[in-house]
Amino acid sequence: MTTPIPPLDVNIVSGTLDVGTKRPKECRASHRTIVLNAANPTYNIAGYDPARKCISINVLDNPVVLSESTGQASDQANTIGTLASPNGRLLGVSNGSEYYLETQDELWLSAATYPTRVAFTIVREI
């Protein structure tokens, strides 16, 4: 016959398991300069990206139009003429400053005067 063993009261003061913390988010930047011309008046600078933190755009030569789709970017109002009624956001020449956007959406640029250089930096969280 076995005798029952009474339960022990246990009080855990500290453990050996290290729970740790989450790895801190890191940012990675990529830098590009594109040239819009008569043969290629539109350019997709960024696709949809949930990890993108921000994008900064520096328009160097002539005004450009910022759009959210290929259809909007290739609209004749954005690629021919004086950009009197652009289909999208008109971005003037930056003159040393940058347009800063916190968005994860698809972004397109269009120009009606060539050649047009545009520099941009994309920052992503990883």
**Of residues 119 and 5, which shows the higher confidence score?**
119
Assess whether pLDDT exceeds 80 at residue 5: yes
Asked whether the beta carbons of 98 and 27 are under 8 A apart, the reply is: no
Domains of the chain: 28-125 (2.60.120.770)
Q: Confidence band (pLDDT; 50, 70, 90) for 16?
A: low
Assess whether pLDDT exceeds 70 at residue 13: yes
Residues 27-78 pLDDT 10s: 999 999 999 999 999 999 999 999 999 999 999 999 999 999 999 999 999 9
Question: How high is the pLDDT of residue 41?
Answer: 96
pTM for this one? 0.80
Q: Report CA torsion sign: 70, 76, 82, 88.
A: negative
Residue 47 and residue 53: Cα distance in Å, rounded? 13
Q: Which residue has the tokens 């022990």?
A: 8
